[in-house]
Amino acid sequence: MKNKEIWIEENILHYNHFNNLETLDIDLMKYAYVHILGGIPYLYIFSDTEHYISTELDDFNHVYRELSQIFNFDDETFFTISKNRIENEKVKIWRKNFAKNYQFLEGDFQDGDFGYEIYTEPKQMLSWDTTYNELETKGYIEYYTSSYGTQYARFKYPVRVEDILINQLELYVDNVIRNRPIQEFYVDLYDNTHSDQSYKELRDFWLNEDIDVDDFGWERDDQCYLRFQFAEGIAASIRYDYDDESTYSDGSTSLHFYNERPYEHFLINENYEKIIEVSELLPFDKSIEINLNHMENDSIKHIPIMIKNLLRDNSGIWFDRKNQKVGFSGTDTALILNNENIKSFTVINYLPGRGPGYSQLTVKTNDADNLDIFTADTHFFDSYVQPLREITGKVVNIPEAYYND
């Protein structure tokens, strides 16, 4: 609304934050704190992202009381902390209560190396090799988009992973290749106490009580985190955050499963290797690893045998005029792009500052992707700028170097 700094309209909270108008869907709120920053009390709310709302906004008190009436905030704590204004003090004034969303099943399931089971009717056992497309085709998942534009998917049915049954297991699906196996599963697990009980149950269930925690992660006053090998090619992690000076807590344990299987068949590029021609070659004087991997980018392939023979143990760039390909040979893999899909290149040099100095060679494609190809020492790629322009016919930008502060 014009000239207002904060208001609620149709369950959307609008507020001014450093002259930017921010919005918050109050139906997505998970927890709220009062936090003193720079001598100013803030209402901190977490939904699917963080919101710091200044109490000095015009009409804040009216909106606060409206929210408190809906969510039953701890008003006494909020106003006491706000009045005392002790720098960086923060106290929780509300947390959403979630139903327990996991249970341990009786029996001794030994199918973790194979995969997981969807509790449809009838139940369906799926391999860890199942792809995003296959889950979507079978109707097992539904997509949703966060308020900041990131896409996710959640299972519509409970999922059993060995002896634990999980409600609403989720997937990261933003910028993934849909014909690849799922790379990461995650869920926030709540027990009835909204405490670290969920973390302790998972730890004790999956790990021996006599383990050395330092071999798997840490258990500190502010956070507990363990990562371990769950099954063949599958890692798992559990994390619980406590209320601390620098952290907030919603009382859940974050559980992740990571698919670390290699799937090297996606690197095979036999059709191109049969017709490859090397029109121009820009060899480097050392080996540099490609910053991309074949599970995230379909243009990552095996280094062609011809290129290996030409570059030997070093990296470099080749241009195939006949097939209109530009290739970037790394340590173990290569990025092979259609020249017509390349919009421009950029060499960025970072001088040593608070952080280290280094240089990046990036490519912007017509698909609007910015791909970081190589990282090397500062100014390493400078001598390749003009040759790269000449052999590809593309713009190669090289802005002035700046300090890595």
Of 277, 322, 340, the residue nearest 304 (C-alpha): 277
Distance CA 383, CA 105 (A): 62
DSSP output for 232-254 = TTEEEEEEEEPP-SS----S-EE
Domains plus CATH for the chain? 6-95 (no CATH), 102-259 (no CATH), 267-403 (2.30.29.30)
Residue 320 per-residue DSSP state: E
pLDDT at 165: 98
pLDDT beyond 60 at 282: yes
Q: Among 211-215, 242-246, 302-306, 356-360, name the one with the lowest average pLDDT.
A: 242-246
Phi, psi (degrees; rounded to nearest 5) at 231: -150, -175
Residues near 43 by Cβ (< 8 Å), separated by ≥ 6? 32, 33, 34, 52, 53, 55, 60, 64, 78
Asked if residue 44 lies in contact with residue 144, where contact means CB atoms within 8 angstroms, the answer is no
For residue 2, the model assigns a pLDDT of 61
Q: What are the b/e assignments for 1-32, b being 16+ CB within 10 Å? A: eeeebbbbeeeebbbeeeeeebebeeeebbbb
pLDDT in tens, 224-236: 999 999 999 999 9
pLDDT at 1: 56
Mean pLDDT of 283-296: 96
> Whose structure tokens read 């001794």?
108
DSSP state of 19: T
Q: Looking at the predicted structure, is the pLDDT value of residue 28 above 70?
A: yes
Q: Is the pLDDT of residue 218 over 60?
A: yes
Model confidence over 352-398: pLDDT tens digits?
Answer: 999 999 999 999 999 877 999 999 999 999 999 999 999 999 999 99
In the three-class reduction of DSSP (H, G, I as helix; E, B as strand; rest coil), residue 84 is classed as: helix
| pLDDT tens per residue, range 55-105 | 999 999 999 999 999 999 999 999 999 999 999 999 999 999 999 999 999
pLDDT of amino acid 66: 97
